[in-house]
Amino acid sequence: MAIDVDTVRKVANLAQIREPDARLEALAGELSGILKWIEQLDEVDTDGVEPMTSAVAVALPMREDLVTEGGDAAGILANAPKARNNFFVVPKVVE
């Protein structure tokens, strides 16, 4: 799969990365090379290979499931720089 300059420009815009037009052609070549390398993974024979979450066989320790009274909201919010109605007050991060 080859990536063209228009696709690089669109992805850079979506990622809010400013790239000069002179660099877009080189980026298109680099990204196409990366995708070509990834496409080589299609050639690997994975028949009979069990899906796994880790390269090491690890059993996660189980803990007893206990019902508790929950956290101490007042104690937790005492550490907050700003709180309102039992919630943390944080700056808006979405435009």
- Spans of all domains in the chain: 5-42
Which segment of 9-13, 19-23, 53-57, 78-82 scores lowest on mean pLDDT?
A: 53-57
pTM (global) more than 0.85: no
- Measured from the Cβ of residue 4, the count of other Cβ atoms closer than 10 Å reads 13
Question: How do residues 18-72 score in pLDDT, each as one tens digit?
Answer: 999 999 999 999 999 999 999 999 899 989 988 888 888 888 889 899 888 777 8
Half-sphere exposure of residue 51, counting CA atoms within 13 Å on the CB side?
0
Read off φ and ψ for residue 48, nearest 5 degrees: 80, 5
